[in-house]
Amino acid sequence: MDDYTLPFWIYLGVLAVFVGGAMKKILASHLSTAPTLVAWLGVTVLAERLWAFCLPALLLLMLLGLVWCLHATTRTRPPPPPLSAQGKAVFITGCDSGFGHATAKRLDSLGFEVFATVLDLSGEGARELQRTCSPHLTLLQVDITQSQQVDQALLDTRAKLGPRGLWALVNNAGVCVNYGDAELSLMSNFRGCMEVNFFGTLSVTKSFLPLLRQAKGRVITISSPAGDQPFPCLAAYGASKAALNLLIATLRHELEPWGVQVSTILPSSYKTGQSTNQAYWEKQHRRLLQGLSPALLEEYGEDYVTETKELFQSYASHANPDLTPVVDAIVQALLAPQPRVRYFAGPGVGLMYFIHSYCPSSISNRFLQKLFVKKKLMPRALRKQSSFDLDLSLHNNNNNNNEEEKLK
């Protein structure tokens, strides 16, 4: 015992904290078996180090075993039964298609009183909700960026609820105005994403908070991992979701004394909205090219911009069409006696956050690049520079060879 120096014990302490934090994050995230086994390997390495260096590690191993047994006991207890949907009213934004549309249908089938907002009351999504859902579902035409429409929706909802409060607000409406490098994106694209994803959601939330506080209800927001991690070519969308995530996290603290619980849903990649529409991608592509200055287009190259469009289109075409994991997460957040702060909805999201939280940035950034947009082309100016450097290197090598020949 006396042979071990203070730095040794500091090292073991840091290793123990790291492994313990990783285990806590994995267990709290309800990930699949593989990441959990990886974490337990880390615990095994820690135990082996302690065993090799000092006998009192036996006590620590016993303590770790006891903690795990207690944790396993609490996990095997049957969870408390979910709350009843009867008599509970939910307001959902963005129900024309995608997550909002599927959620409105599910909640209506469960017995919730649903207020579903759409951009177009005569659109296909609105007509389908009217045709397939019960009379308890109310359709409201709302553009969340228009404060007058949000105010009118609040009046209509309050009039129908009467003295009751609102059990939950599901902030689902959102847009990804464009794709591409930040330098190539117009300022109007950044403002467009912020206007809908951040300011629109903020406007709806602030307007409906009195009804939510009255019912001690819930705020559930559909966000994106792009708001926490630097996905390539999604700067405008990611920045708006980052602002939204911070807003929601702040609201969680502020609304706790009121009894209002706040959750965030973080989906993986799904086919929603215009993601499978060929004409949509072509329109976005033309709009991006038309917005670039000739000098910027020359430096990046039209082929570079086209490759980005094709990569996004291919990624969207391979996205999951089954929205069930996201809808299930929303239902859990609505009916769980103690809802989670964050729900990872879909395969790989929890692992992505684990890598982002615990691995060096070089590894997490490479993971994102391999997972998301696998670009092969460099901007044209860099290709020219690379070609120039290669020619210069070959020229210098030839000159050196000629000089050596002369010396001989």
Q: Which of 328, 344, 341 is nearest to 268 (CA)?
A: 344
For residues 163-171, give the mean pLDDT.
Answer: 95
Contact 223/264 with Cβ under 8 angstroms?
A: yes
Tell me the CB-side half-sphere exposure of residue 20, using CA atoms within 13 A: 12
Choice between 105 and 75, residue whose per-residue pLDDT is larger: 105
Confidence grade of residue 390 (pLDDT, cut at 50, 70, 90): very low
User: Exposed, middle or buried, 193 (CB in 10 Å: 0-12/13-18/19+)?
Assistant: buried
Choice between 373 and 328, residue whose per-residue pLDDT is larger: 328
Separation of alpha carbons 197 and 172, rounded Å: 9
Over residues 49-63, the pLDDT tens digits come to 555 555 455 555 566
Residues with catalytic roles: 237
Q: Is the pLDDT of residue 362 over 90?
A: no
Task: Tell me the range of 68-82, 153-167, 303-317 where mean pLDDT is highest.
Answer: 153-167
Over residues 178-222, the pLDDT tens digits come to 678 999 988 888 999 999 999 999 999 999 999 999 999 999 999
Q: Is the pLDDT of residue 167 over 90?
A: yes
Over residues 105-145, the pLDDT tens digits come to 999 999 999 999 999 999 999 999 999 999 999 999 999 99
- Per DSSP, the three-state class of 115 is strand
For residues 64-73, give the mean pLDDT.
Answer: 67
User: Can you give the pLDDT at residue 265?
Assistant: 97
Separation of alpha carbons 167 and 87, rounded Å: 9
Percent of the chain topping pLDDT 70: 75
For helices 235-255 and 201-215, the axis angle rounded to 10 degrees is 20
Q: Where is average pLDDT lowest: 84-88, 197-201, 250-254?
A: 84-88
Q: Where is average pLDDT lowest: 71-75, 166-170, 357-361?
A: 71-75
User: Can you give the pLDDT at residue 55?
Assistant: 47
Over residues 1-45, the pLDDT tens digits come to 455 555 656 656 666 666 666 555 555 555 544 555 555 556 566
DSSP string, 11-59: HHHHHHHHHHHHHHHHHHHT--HHHHHHHHHHHHHHHHHHHHH-TTHHH
Percent of the chain topping pLDDT 90: 48
Contact 35/351 with Cβ under 8 angstroms?
A: yes
Residue 139, strand partner residues: 116
Tokens found for residue 122: 């005569």
User: Can you give the pLDDT at residue 400?
Assistant: 54
Mean pLDDT (the chain) is: 83
R_g of the chain, CA atoms, integer Å = 27
Q: Is the pLDDT of residue 100 over 90?
A: yes
Choice between 390 and 379, residue whose per-residue pLDDT is larger: 379
Longest dimension (CA), the chain: 102
Q: Is the pLDDT of residue 392 over 50?
A: no
DSSP string, 161-193: HTT---SEEEE--------B-GGGS-HHHHHHH
| Domain spans of the chain, in order of start | 6-76, 89-350
Contact 91/169 with Cβ under 8 angstroms?
A: yes
Give 198's DSSP letter: I
Separation of alpha carbons 241 and 228, rounded Å: 8
For residues 140-160, give the mean pLDDT.
Answer: 97
CATH number for the domain formed by residue range(s) 89-350 = 3.40.50.720
3-class secondary structure per residue, 373-386:
CCCCCCCHHHHHHH
For residues 269-289, give the mean pLDDT.
Answer: 79
